[in-house]
Copies of this chain bind each other. A is one copy, B any other.
């Protein structure tokens, strides 16, 4: 009887099926590592993931997936229909960052790209999306090579432009719902700076909402030797930066979560010219809309007042962009998932709580009307991490996502990332019962 085998809670046949499927990991290790190193070496900026998407599509087709390309800009979906059973969607994001890699890896990126402003910038997978892409391709292969071990439909979705919060929405707007079978559940994962080998599911709010704001402040340009004729936009922008620190420190209740990061400041082009404007680009994260609103209002209030303090000829301009929704993991889905993870990974399953990062993944299940869960996987060499933990220097010594030094160890990161997808999918597919 297959009933119990389809029940993810029993775990019996499913565990057997997982073992059977994952048995293929050894054979594909070189292929997987090569894939990863290639993605890592040639990162692509948001909505420019052309080569990455081509390679993804080629691999999926080779594996027998039905592939749709160029969803949104460069989105790819591979569908593997394998008999009766639920449809499970797994998403990986493909884009990289305008960061100059400083990892010292022999497969480090030295690539550059032209960004949206026409500037030539370095590019690196400083956020680890290459791990996501490789892991999902790995899981896609394992599932394709062990079709006897499960039944259902696996949807492998490769999304562009997560880093600017547009990719998920792009794919939805480009008709994703009509291009794939309706999934029963959707998943995504992210490599983070904790020990590789560990998997971290978490029910409820998991990733913060995020909003970016561009503030253009206006001064009055002059020769650098005549400050009295100018309104110095560098002094103005710097004053705003320092004053913005008081929002989290003084205006947000200490029990409320809020981050205000000014990721970019730019003003002037030469040491001896006082420019007539400067630009700040900042990012606000919270787990509560009321807090977001208070913080964004405080930012505007401070920037306007600081412009007045500088006697600026014009109010600052404010532009909101890159809105990320809250990622709130479905309780029931996450419980089922956690049980499956625990059955397979044992003590390596650690709920590390909500994360301050943000994601646009949830735009996809929200649009499709399906529950979702998003989990973390570790990417740091466990011994290195343990040593840093012992010394109390984790923050100082372990480069986090978006750092130029961020460099996940290949293993057990990739095998864990691959296995986690298979385990999650099988918790819904169940084993085939043979």
- Interface residues, chain A, CB within 8 Å of chain B? 97-99, 102, 115, 118-121, 126-127, 163, 193, 208, 210, 212-214, 220-230, 232, 234-235, 237-239, 241-276, 278, 281-283, 285, 298, 301-302, 304-306, 308-311, 313, 322, 353-358, 395-396, 399-405
- The distance in angstroms between the C-alpha atoms of A271 and B97, with both chains bound, is 12
Q: Are A212 and B271 in contact (CB under 8 A)?
A: yes
Contact A212:B249 (CB < 8 A) given known A224-B263, A262-B235: no
**Residues on the B chain within 8 Å of A98, using CB:** 269-270
**Residues on the B chain within 8 Å of A403, using CB:** 220-223, 229, 276
Q: Are A322 and B271 in contact (CB under 8 A)?
A: yes
**Residues on the B chain within 8 Å of A119, using CB:** 119-120
Q: Are A272 and B283 in contact (CB under 8 A)?
A: yes
- Most B CB within 10 A of own CB, among A301, A305, A353, A354: A305
Known: A227-B254, A251-B311, A302-B309. 10 other contacts (CB 8 A): A98-B269, A99-B221, A223-B402, A223-B403, A224-B259, A234-B264, A239-B243, A254-B259, A263-B275, A271-B281
Q: Are B243 and A246 in contact (CB under 8 A)?
A: no
- The distance in angstroms between the C-alpha atoms of A258 and B227, with both chains bound, is 11
Q: Are B229 and A400 in contact (CB under 8 A)?
A: yes
A273 closest partner in B (C-beta): B402
Question: Among B210, B228, B302, which residue has its beta carbon within 8 angstroms of that of A252?
Answer: B228
Question: Among B118, B243, B252, B271, which residue has its beta carbon within 8 angstroms of that of A309?
Answer: B243
- Most B CB within 10 A of own CB, among A193, A253, A269, A271: A271
Assembly of this chain: how many copies? 4
- Most B CB within 10 A of own CB, among A121, A221, A224: A224
Contact A271:B261 (CB < 8 A) given known A309-B306, A402-B221: yes
**Residues on the B chain within 8 Å of A237, using CB:** 238, 265
How near does chain B come to A306, taking the closest CB pair, in angstroms?
6
Contact A265:B265 (CB < 8 A) given known A282-B271, A403-B221: yes
**Residues on the B chain within 8 Å of A242, using CB:** 235, 238-239, 242, 245
- The distance in angstroms between the C-alpha atoms of A357 and B274, with both chains bound, is 13
Q: What are 9 A-B contacts defined by CB distance under 8 Å?
A: A214-B271, A228-B253, A228-B395, A230-B400, A244-B249, A249-B249, A255-B354, A264-B271, A268-B281
A221 closest partner in B (C-beta): B403
Q: Are B261 and A224 in contact (CB under 8 A)?
A: yes
**Residues on the B chain within 8 Å of A254, using CB:** 225, 227-228, 248, 257-259, 285, 356
Q: Are A97 and B281 in contact (CB under 8 A)?
A: no
How near does chain B come to A266, taking the closest CB pair, in angstroms?
5
**Residues on the B chain within 8 Å of A356, using CB:** 223, 225-226, 253-255
A267 closest partner in B (C-beta): B265
Q: Are A263 and B255 in contact (CB under 8 A)?
A: no
Contact A264:B263 (CB < 8 A) given known A225-B285, A276-B404: no
**Residues on the B chain within 8 Å of A269, using CB:** 98-99, 115, 121, 263-264
**Residues on the B chain within 8 Å of A251, using CB:** 227-228, 311
Q: Are A241 and B243 in contact (CB under 8 A)?
A: no
Contact A270:B264 (CB < 8 A) given known A225-B285, A255-B353, A305-B309: yes
**Residues on the B chain within 8 Å of A306, using CB:** 305, 309
- Most B CB within 10 A of own CB, among A120, A270, A357: A270
Q: Are A213 and B270 in contact (CB under 8 A)?
A: no
How near does chain B come to A239, taking the closest CB pair, in angstroms?
6
**Residues on the B chain within 8 Å of A275, using CB:** 263-264
- The distance in angstroms between the C-alpha atoms of A358 and B273, with both chains bound, is 12
A403 closest partner in B (C-beta): B221
How near does chain B come to A274, taking the closest CB pair, in angstroms?
6
A232 closest partner in B (C-beta): B250
How near does chain B come to A248, taking the closest CB pair, in angstroms?
4
